Amino acid sequence: MSIEITSISKTFESFKALSDINLKINTGELVALLGPSGSGKTTLLRIIAGLETADSGSIMFDGEDNTGKSTQDRKVGFVFQHYALFKHMTVFENIAFGLKVRPSKLRPSKEVIEKKVNELLSLVKMEELAKRYPSQLSGGQRQRIALARALAVEPRVLLLDEPFGALDAKVRKDLRRWLRKLHDEYPITSVFVTHDQEEALDVADRIVILNQGKIEQMGTPEEVYDNPTNPFVYNFLGNVNLFHGRVHNGIIELGSLKLDSPEHSEAVDRKIISYIRPHDIEISLEQYENEFVAAEVIFIRAVGPIVNLEMKRIDSGEYIEAEISKDIYKKLALKERQTVFVKPKDFKVFIPEDY
């Protein structure tokens, strides 16, 4: 089932929660709606579900207009952050619930329901726990049951709102890997809301980045991480160093650092902000040409294979964070208070006047 969202806008009193959202979700795709708190993620999910009405725009499912349809008629399944399982029902009964409450003409036989629930229990790897009550399950197990329950009624679309938000970091990580695998085995068109960048990068086929009710960028995890089209996305998707400088005739100047930038060959003395990820920073003990900037190492964290360095530029006093391999760290015998030379292996320049 494909979903086509066209020109959706939503205002609450005078607050514009969504402005002109356009998005096409392909059949079988797992799409993350990612953004900071208040960016409109849940509102968009609720509009897709039919739980909220948009002020304007349309929602099509497989080319069919669903804009005015009720949630029931849209046949969407939900999983929320707080697993709303029925406390007085066993795991088995919880999963079977949606099938049992169907009108008698549409209700499957007891045997069919049993077969379906057993299949789902096996899909979510919970066969052993069918007779337990929700209070006897861990948070992660409850969330898997909530997912099985949503899938039982064979929704055309699965909508998940921060499904793992209430769980601790380790369980979250396990569950999102599991969700990815489950989705590969059971490819139902799914949209999930998260404010966790790592979660979106880890799980989604495609990420839609929302900010203040607008789409900033959408693309595969690699596309948005490697080629952010604006500073918001760059900042939002990971740790970043920010250097202010100028560009003139294809040469970027950041303090004493000068770098070629052929894509800015036409620029005449313009202000820039350059963004450099910590893992794109190279460290050297010698200064070569004018490509390196001198910095003092002020903090080293050498736990695990990646070493985190915090440095202070000698010319401007700006802080620089770097991530280097333990091998390089050992080879250079780095110490705190040492002077090093820093070079960006990769960086991205944004000209603020463009925004």
Question: What are the residues binding ligand ATP (CB under 6 A)?
Answer: 12, 15, 17, 35, 37-43, 195
Which C-beta is closer to ligand ATP: that of 149 or that of 195? Answer: 195
User: CB 94 → ligand ATP: shortest distance, Å?
Assistant: 25
The full DSSP string for 42-94 is HHHHHHHHTSS--SEEEEEETTEE-TT--HHHHTEEEE-SS----TTS-HHHH
User: CB 195 → ligand ATP: shortest distance, Å?
Assistant: 5
Which C-beta is closer to ligand ATP: that of 37 or that of 135? Answer: 37
User: CB 40 → ligand ATP: shortest distance, Å?
Assistant: 4
In degrees and rounded to multiples of 5, residue 161 shows phi and psi of -105, 105
In degrees and rounded to multiples of 5, residue 219 shows phi and psi of 170, 180
Which C-beta is closer to ligand ATP: that of 53 or that of 122? Answer: 53
In degrees and rounded to multiples of 5, residue 166 shows phi and psi of -90, 5
d(CA 6, CA 20): 8
User: CB 39 → ligand ATP: shortest distance, Å?
Assistant: 4
Which C-beta is closer to ligand ATP: that of 213 or that of 344? Answer: 213
User: CB 42 → ligand ATP: shortest distance, Å?
Assistant: 3
Straight-line distance from the first to the last Cα atom of the chain, in angstroms, rounded to the nearest whole number? 36
Which C-beta is closer to ligand ATP: that of 204 or that of 276? Answer: 204
User: CB 214 → ligand ATP: shortest distance, Å?
Assistant: 12
Which C-beta is closer to ligand ATP: that of 212 or that of 230? Answer: 212
Parallel/antiparallel/unpaired status of strands 257-260 and 251-254? antiparallel
User: CB 13 → ligand ATP: shortest distance, Å?
Assistant: 6
- Contact, 190 vs 183, CB < 8 A? yes
Tell which residue, 62, 42, 38, has the closest CA to residue 52. Answer: 42
Residues in the chain: 355
Tell which residue, 348, 343, 352, 190, has the closest CA to residue 275. Answer: 348
User: CB 207 → ligand ATP: shortest distance, Å?
Assistant: 14
C-alpha distances out from residue 39 to 36, 42, 193, Å: 6, 9, 11
DSSP letter at 129? G
CB count in 10 Å sphere of residue 249: 11
d(CA 34, CA 313): 33
d(CA 97, CA 149): 8
Parallel/antiparallel/unpaired status of strands 30-34 and 206-211? parallel
Which C-beta is closer to ligand ATP: that of 81 or that of 118? Answer: 81
Which C-beta is closer to ligand ATP: that of 50 or that of 278? Answer: 50
Which C-beta is closer to ligand ATP: that of 41 or that of 277? Answer: 41
User: CB 15 → ligand ATP: shortest distance, Å?
Assistant: 6
Query: Hey, what are 19's tokens?
Result: 């402005």
Query: Hey, what are 248's tokens?
Result: 């003139």
User: CB 59 → ligand ATP: shortest distance, Å?
Assistant: 16
Query: Hey, what are 271's tokens?
Result: 């202000």
Which C-beta is closer to ligand ATP: that of 15 or that of 288? Answer: 15
